[in-house]
Amino acid sequence: MSDSEEIITSDCRACKRRTRHSVIQELEEETDPESYHEKDTWQIIQCMGCLTTGFRHRNDDYEQVYEIGDGDVRHTVSIELYPRVLRNHQGLSFRHFIPPLIRKVYLQTLAAYGEQAYVLASIGLRANIEAVCNHLQISGNNLEKRIDLLFKGGYISNADKKRLHAIRFLGNDAAHDIKEPKEAELRVALEIIEHLINSVFILEKKATRLETVVESYPEFLRLINSCAGSAPSAQAISLGALLGAKRRLVSSNIDSFENQLKSDIQEGRVAKLSLAQNETVGGKEVQLYTLNVDETKPNDDSTDDLF
């Protein structure tokens, strides 16, 4: 950096905060002071932390002057950055987990917000809810009913439902009454929409790496299939021993799942397992199973593709 290189403070779209920037190149255009006096300064700037480059326009309006106290006066200065920056806004990560249409609506909403098109941004936030409902096939005559169905379907909490209705009101006011919200209201609404998208789509994908409660029979069959690889093939084994520590994932439904499993084995729909003998252990009758490692599915009508 040369001694003459100008250093300014500006919002960085990568750091998501105000940082020191160096001015790489600059061009000034100033009007005749005898007419309307103002100056435009066009700058290429670079963050001194992450080295992200951007474009900055500064307008000094020397005709609009105001007193700031003690006899000091200042003129109006306006600054715009390109690409636009939402100060202190991180945005959603793992955007590839978001369905394409919802991702497009979300990014267009951010663009409108960044351009300070607050009416359009409000409508965009409402459209995000509609897009989520469409993807989840949540039907209804209007958005009010669809939001309620999101809650009833278990996708959102009751508190989330109330917040989404607030965004519905915000979007309706913008679309029908052309009412512009305050920037602070829009920022909160954006956070609510990002929470919705994050919880319904992004966290849902990321959570597949974690163990969670098994609530359906197909999930139960997939769990057995994953545990079968480490089970002894020639030795009779109980369902609890087959599942091992993963039994905790199905503890509340294990009896009903096992009854269905035994029925499917008897009808030939689970090829990898066979019913062995029953044993009485601790006063309780326990069904044992054997693993058929070389067996294939008996027909194409098997209830579980993994078996």
Residues 81-133 pLDDT 10s: 988 888 888 889 899 999 999 999 999 999 999 889 999 999 999 999 999 99
The answer to whether 125 and 119 have CB atoms below 8 angstroms apart is no
Q: pLDDT > 90: what percent of the chain?
A: 59
Instruction: Decide if pLDDT at 1 tops 60.
Output: no
The pLDDT of residue 295 is: 47
User: Which two structure tokens, joined as six digits, stand for 126?
Assistant: 């409402």
Instruction: Decide if pLDDT at 5 tops 90.
Output: no
Residues 7-29 pLDDT 10s: 999 999 888 889 999 999 999 99
- Residue 3 banded pLDDT, cuts 50, 70, 90: low
Rounded mean pLDDT of 196-204?
93
Topology (CATH level 3) of domain 95-209: Four Helix Bundle (Hemerythrin (Met), subunit A) (1.20.120)
Residues 203-222 pLDDT 10s: 988 877 777 888 889 889 98
The sign of the CA dihedral 154, 156, 158, 164 is negative
Average pLDDT of the chain is 88
The pLDDT of residue 300 is: 43
Rounded mean pLDDT of 56-70?
90
CA–CA distance, 32 with 37 (Å, rounded to integer): 6
Residues 243-258 pLDDT 10s: 988 899 988 889 999 9
Give the residue extent of every domain in the chain: 7-82, 95-209, 217-291
Residues 254-292 pLDDT 10s: 999 999 999 999 998 888 888 999 998 888 899 999 888
CA–CA distance, 22 with 7 (Å, rounded to integer): 5
Rounded mean pLDDT of 39-49?
96
Single-letter amino acid code for the residue at 293: V
- Residue 234 banded pLDDT, cuts 50, 70, 90: low
Rounded mean pLDDT of 60-76?
88
The pLDDT of residue 297 is: 43
The pLDDT of residue 301 is: 42
User: Which two structure tokens, joined as six digits, stand for 240?
Assistant: 């609890």
The pLDDT of residue 231 is: 67
Instruction: Decide if pLDDT at 146 tops 50.
Output: yes
Total residue count of the chain as it appears in this document: 307
Terminal Cα distance for the chain, rounded? 66
CA–CA distance, 12 with 35 (Å, rounded to integer): 36
The pLDDT of residue 210 is: 76
Q: What is the 3-state secondary structure (H, E, C) of the chain?
A: CCCCCCEEEEEECCCCEEEEEEEEEEEEEECCCCCCCEEEEEEEEEECCCCCEEEEEEEEEEEEEEEEECCEEEEEEEEEEECCCCCCCCCCCCHHHCCHHHHHHHHHHHHHHHCCCHHHHHHHHHHHHHHHHHHCCCCCCCHHHHHHHHHHCCCCCHHHHHHHHHHHHHHHHHHHCCCCCCHHHHHHHHHHHHHHHHHHHHHHHHHHHCCCCCCCHHHHHHHHHHHHCCCCCCCCEEHHHHHHHHHHHHCCCHHHHHHHHHHHHHCCCCCCEEEEEEEEECCEEEEEEEECCCCCCCCCCCCCCCC
Instruction: Decide if pLDDT at 2 tops 60.
Output: no
Instruction: Decide if pLDDT at 4 tops 70.
Output: no
- Range name among 138-152, 231-245, 269-283 with the lowest pLDDT average: 231-245
The pLDDT of residue 144 is: 95
CA–CA distance, 69 with 198 (Å, rounded to integer): 47
